[in-house]
Every structure is written in C-alpha cells, then in structure tokens.
C-alpha cells in the first residue's frame, strides 16, 4: 500500500460504527458515544468545581476548554495586536467555560519563541487586562453569564527553542545528543544555576502582573520542549536543578511556591507534556522515524525506548505539583519541534515535518488514554485533555464518552477553535456540526509561522483566507511538496 493510501482519513469514516471499527482495528483504548446529548443534563454541559489556591472554590460552567494557541502576531515589543485581540474574542465566544492560558506569553524577552510572541513585564497590566476583558465581553454577548468562566494566562520561557529576534538563540539546561545539532548551541547557551534562580523570579513577577490584569490562574508551562519541560529531562545536569526527579522539578516547584507567596489568591495550573518521545525525522519515504537508534534517556515520561511511555515519573511529579498548590493540569505530549506527530496529530504534516509513522488516531488515543490513567491516580487535581482536534466530526462523540466515564474533567480543543471557534456552542445547543468548518489538520497554522508568517486557519477562516500571506503560504507549501518528491502527505 502506498504511503498516502495506508491511513484512512477521518472524514471518510462514514458513521460511529465505522469509527469504532477503526479504533478496534488499531487496538486503541478509545471509545465514543453513539449520540451527542444536548440540554442541561448533557454530560458536556455539566458544571464542575475547582479550588483555586487560597481563593474560594470556583464553578466552571461546562466541559469544554480552549487550549492556548499563539498566533505569531504580537508587536515586536511583545504587545497584542488586533489579530491577537480577534483570536481572544473568538476564544471567549466559543462557548467553552475554561480558557486555558490564552497563548504562551514570554516572561523575558530572551525567552520568546519568535519576535512576535507576547512578552509580559510590569507595564503589561493594561494590555493583558484588555485582552481578558474582550474575551469575557465576547463570552457575555454570546452566552450570558460569566461567573462560571475561568480564564488563565500561560507563562513561558522557550529555552532551547528561543528565537527572540527571528534566528535561534537557544538557552538550554543540558547538552543533548540530538537536539544540540538542530540549533546552534555552545557552552554559553547553557543556563547556570544563578541564571535559573533569576529566571524563576521573572515568572513570579509575571504572575503578579497576571493577577493584577484579572486572570483567575497562571499556567507555569512545562511542555513542548520549552525550558521547564527540558529541565524535567535533565538527568545529566549537575547541581540543584538536575539529576533526580526532585532536582529536575526543583525550578518548577520553587517557582510555584514563590508565586503562592506573592499572590496567594491566584490559581496555579501547569500544562505538562505527560510523556515525551525521542526526536523524530523523515525517513527516505518521508515517514517519521526516531532519529536515534537504541535506548533514549531524555524523554520525561518515556520508557527508555524513545517511542514508548512510562508514567511513573509523571505520577510522582503530579504528586509534587499538587503539594505545591497546583489544582489543574492540562495534559499534552512531546514537542512540536522534535515529535510533532505526538503533540498535534495531523493527516497533513507541516512543511518541515514528516508523514505520520502510524494512523494519527494512535497518538490521539495515547494522549487521551494517558490522561485518564493519570486522572484516576490524582483525584486531587483537575485534568484538561488535549489532542482531540484530529477526531474531527467525532470529536464531540469521543469527548462526551471521556467526560461521561470520568476520564477527564474538561476537553481541551486547540486547532479546531481556530477553524470552528463555536463548535462547543453548537454541540451544547444540540445543533448539527458545520462540517465545512471542521479542522482537517492541514497544518497551515503550523507551516505559516515556521516560515515567518502569522498563524491562523488559512484554509477555513475567511479572515485568513483573504490575507496576502495566504498566497505566500501556498507557494511555500508547493515548494515543500516538491522537495518531498511530490508527496502532499
Ligand atoms: C498554531 C498553534 C499555536 C499553538 N500555540 C500554543 C501555545 O501558545 N501554547 C501551548 O501550550 N500550546 C500551543 N499549541 C498547541 C495546542 O495548544 C494543542 O496542544 C495542539 O494543537 C493539540 O490540540 P488539538 O489537537 O486540539 O489541536 C499551539 C498549536 C498550534 C497549532
Ligand atoms: S490551518 Fe486550519 S484546518 Fe489546518 S490544522 Fe490549522 S486549524 Fe486545522
């Protein structure tokens, strides 16, 4: 079977029975409901509660969450633009009652992943407060009450993947046998213990600003290969921030404790890559394969093979995070830089990616299944899941089954919110899905920023469809396709 034919597209699975048969054929720990329920008693409409730090318990009005989605569209001094505001307003109008982080906001200029990433400093209260207000106002306009809407801000330092002015200026925490070849590292890029102490303070300052701007919680981001995630795999690093798990987690725990001291009422969340894989690369047939042979010891939550997972350390870390006052975890996996198939399952890879090594449903099921395993072990934490967009028309069916079975507290949606922001509202109201707006995982929202353009849903969002950048994107994709020997996927 040729590469393009070996994986059936989700849109070709005609009905629930066909989807179920495909899950069975792949041996997946994934199920879906036959019918989507609407109305006040529907599983996805059920409110849930979370105790945020020292503040009162909060009610979250339903089981949908918007995942953080950056647009590479801030000003070069890190401030929001109209495009950023548009995205946040659409997040608010989506109908989801939890907005997990909005988008990654750098706590320091050298930690920006691109020159257009938002950056938070003492002067950001008005800008960020305005974004939050617009989001809440859009929610109020479409959905009425907002006392059951929870909005957080994601704080980040991009570490190895920092590109504050466009070209890579990595800040790493250990020498990596594969990833060091993918960005220009030298001894000077390694952050010292003092550098890390200083950086922790920047997270604390940023959390203070977020609280002043009115956010309910901050997400001290530890995922996707960025700095706090890389620290978790620093098994070879000497000193207080490397080695045993308690040391690898020290930066995160100390930062969370200091935030609690500074702003006791502010909720604490962590977006965590609950497992990681070895860096992947395209093989001669364009299909992704591990770029290492033999054992791989730098995957936090990995089983040492580079492709399998072992959640023992993840479980231990979650205990530590809960002890530090974290009440919510948003689960994700791997990194969009070194194993994108695990992080954003897609049928069509981004221009610098590779064809999926297996049916992307396998990675969807792995992320959803691992989240359920962790949730069962940690009743003290609320879990927000990720990786659902690939399910397309079956997203609500799987989401309802997961929530009904108590395998996740809230279903996080990323790419689908870009193409079809009000999917959650349609599901909750019992309206049929608008199939023309379903994200088909074309990956344009990843390909565009990888090539210096703003990110958005160029194929399906009228606003981006009309942009001159779309013409440029089409050219870039054609060139990438030619380089892959004509394989679109
Ligand atoms: C364009 C784009 C921007 C993203 N920006 C962020 C971000 O700022 N912070 C973050 O934690 N994840 C980010 N992600 C990852 C998503 O939050 C989500 O984990 C991923 O898309 C998988 O979920 P999905 O299948 O619903 O899309 C981004 C993904 C995309 C495609
Ligand atoms: S560009 Fe649109 S359709 Fe493509 S993956 Fe992104 S959100 Fe989905």
pLDDT in tens, 152-204: 999 999 999 999 999 999 999 999 999 999 999 988 899 999 999 999 999 99
Dihedral sign, Cα of residue 173, residue 177, residue 183, residue 188: positive
The H or E element that residue 218 is part of is: strand 217-220
Predicted pLDDT of residue 329: 98
pTM of whole model > 0.95? yes
- SS3 of 20, please? helix
pLDDT in tens, 417-473: 999 999 999 999 999 999 999 999 999 999 999 999 999 999 999 999 999 999 999
53 band by pLDDT with thresholds 50, 70 and 90: confident
pLDDT in tens, 345-400: 999 999 889 999 999 999 999 999 999 999 999 999 999 999 999 999 999 999 99
The torsion region of residue 301 among left (phi > 0), alpha (psi -120 to 50) and beta comes to left
pLDDT in tens, 386-416: 999 999 999 999 999 999 999 999 999 999 9
Residue 3 has pLDDT above 50, yes or no: no
C-alpha 29/C-alpha 10 separation (Å) is 17
Predicted pLDDT of residue 1: 33
Residue with the smallest CA separation from ligand 1 atom 18 is 414
Question: What's the angle, vertex CA 46, arms to CA 52 and CA 403, rounded to 5?
Answer: 90
Name the CATH topology of 17-436: TIM Barrel (3.20.20)
Helix axes 125-143, 82-93, angle to 10 degrees: 40
Query: What percent of the chain lies above the pLDDT cut of 90?
Result: 93
Dihedral sign, Cα of residue 221, residue 223, residue 226, residue 232: positive
- What does the pLDDT average to over 302-306? 97
- SS3 of 172, please? strand
- What does the pLDDT average to over 231-248? 98
Predicted pLDDT of residue 188: 86
CA of residue 230 to ligand 2 center, whole Å: 27
Predicted pLDDT of residue 96: 98
Mean pLDDT of the residues in the chain = 95
Query: Rg (Cα) of the chain, in Å, rounded?
Result: 21
Residue of 10, 64, 67 best suited for mutating to test ligand 1, as the one with most atoms within 8 Å of CB: 67
User: Is ligand 2 within 6 A of the CB of residue 89?
Assistant: no
pLDDT in tens, 420-436: 999 999 999 999 999 99
Residue with the smallest CA separation from ligand 1 atom 12 is 68
Residue with the smallest CA separation from ligand 2 atom 3 is 439
Give the residue extent of every domain in the chain. 17-436
Name which of 220, 313, 235, 203 is nearest 272 in CA terms. 220
Q: Compute how many other C-beta atoms are within 10 angstroms of the C-beta atom of residue 390.
A: 24
Instruction: List the structure tokens of 240.
Output: 């207080």
Place of tokens 């679109």: 488
Residue of 90, 356, 442, 447 best suited for mutating to test ligand 2, as the one with most atoms within 8 Å of CB: 442
For the purposes of burial, counting CB atoms within 10 Å of the CB of 358, is it exposed (0-12), middle (13-18) or buried (19 or more)? middle
Residue of 440, 453, 455, 465 best suited for mutating to test ligand 2, as the one with most atoms within 8 Å of CB: 440
- What does the pLDDT average to over 483-489? 63
Instruction: List the structure tokens of 109.
Output: 């200029």
Pairing of strands 48-51, 57-60: antiparallel
- SS3 of 372, please? helix
Question: 288 - beta bridge partners?
Answer: 282
Place of tokens 């897609």: 346
- SS3 of 332, please? strand
Predicted pLDDT of residue 412: 98
Helix axes 360-377, 395-404, angle to 10 degrees: 20
4 band by pLDDT with thresholds 50, 70 and 90: very low
- What does the pLDDT average to over 122-150? 98
Q: Residues 398, 391: contact at Cβ < 8 Å?
A: yes
Residues 6+ apart with CB under 8 A from 282: 288, 289, 353, 354, 355, 484
Q: Residues 366, 358: contact at Cβ < 8 Å?
A: no
CA of residue 219 to ligand 1 center, whole Å: 14
Residue 55 has pLDDT above 80, yes or no: no
Q: Compute how many other C-beta atoms are within 10 angstroms of the C-beta atom of residue 381.
A: 20
Q: Which of 54-68, 83-97, 109-123, 302-316 is predicted with the least confidence, judged by mean pLDDT? A: 54-68
Query: What percent of the chain lies above the pLDDT cut of 70?
Result: 98
Predicted pLDDT of residue 56: 76
Q: Which residues line ligand 1 (CB under 6 A)?
A: 67-70, 103-104, 154, 221, 223, 271, 332, 344, 386-390, 413-416, 445-446, 455
Which ligand lies nearest the alpha carbon of 457? 2
CA of residue 68 to ligand 1 center, whole Å: 6
Residue with the smallest CA separation from ligand 1 atom 6 is 69
489 band by pLDDT with thresholds 50, 70 and 90: low
């Amino acid at each position: 079977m040729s590469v393009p034919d070996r994986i059936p597209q989700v849109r070709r699975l005609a009905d629930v029975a066909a989807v179920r048969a495909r899950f069975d054929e792949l041996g997946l720990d994934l199920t879906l409901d036959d019918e989507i329920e609407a109305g006040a008693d529907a599983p996805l409409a059920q409110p849930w509660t979370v105790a945020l730090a020292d503040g009162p318990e909060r009610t979250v009005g339903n089981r949908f969450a918007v995942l953080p989605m950056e647009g590479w569209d801030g000003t070069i001094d890190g401030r929001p633009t109209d495009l950023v505001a548009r995205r946040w307003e659409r997040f608010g109008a989506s109908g989801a009652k939890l907005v997990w982080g909005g988008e990654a906001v750098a706590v320091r200029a050298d930690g920006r992943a691109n020159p257009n990433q938002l950056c938070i400093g003492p002067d950001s209260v008005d800008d960020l407060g305005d974004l939050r207000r617009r989001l809440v106002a859009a929610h109020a306009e479409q959905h009425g009450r907002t006392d059951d809407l929870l909005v957080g801000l994601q704080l980040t330092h991009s570490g190895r993947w920092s590109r504050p002015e466009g070209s890579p200026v990595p800040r790493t925490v250990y020498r990596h046998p594969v990833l060091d070849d993918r960005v220009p590292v030298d001894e000077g890029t390694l952050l010292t213990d003092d550098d890390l102490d200083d950086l922790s303070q920047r997270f604390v300052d940023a959390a203070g600003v977020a609280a002043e701007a009115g956010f309910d919680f901050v997400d001290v981001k530890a995922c996707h290969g960025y700095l706090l995630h890389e620290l978790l795999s620093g098994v070879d690093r000497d000193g207080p921030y490397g080695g045993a798990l308690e040391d690898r987690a020290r930066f995160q725990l100390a930062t969370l404790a200091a935030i609690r001291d500074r702003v006791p009422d502010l909720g604490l969340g962590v977006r965590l890559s609950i497992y990681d894989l070895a860096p992947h690369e395209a093989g001669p047939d364009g299909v992704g394969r591990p770029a290492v042979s033999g054992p791989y010891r730098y995957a936090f939550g990995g089983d040492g093979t580079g492709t399998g997972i072992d959640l023992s350390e993840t479980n231990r870390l979650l205990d530590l995070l809960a002890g530090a006052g974290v009440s919510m975890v948003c689960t994700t996996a791997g990194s969009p830089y070194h194993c994108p198939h695990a992080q954003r399952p897609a049928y069509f890879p981004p221009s610098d990616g590779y064809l999926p090594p297996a049916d992307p449903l396998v990675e969807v099921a792995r992320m959803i299944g691992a989240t359920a395993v962790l949730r069962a072990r940690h009743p003290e934490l609320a879990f927000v899941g990720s990786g659902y967009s690939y399910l397309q028309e079956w997203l609500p069916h799987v989401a309802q089954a997961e929530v009904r079975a108590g395998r996740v507290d809230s279903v996080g949606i990323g790419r689908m919110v870009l193409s079809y922001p009000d999917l959650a509202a349609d599901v909750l109201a019992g309206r049929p899905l608008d199939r023309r707006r379903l994200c088909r995982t074309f990956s344009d929202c990843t390909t565009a920023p990888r090539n210096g353009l703003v990110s958005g849903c160029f194929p399906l969002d009228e606003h981006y469809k009309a942009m001159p950048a779309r013409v440029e994107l089409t050219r870039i994709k054609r060139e990438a396709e030619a380089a892959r020997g004509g394989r679109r996927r």
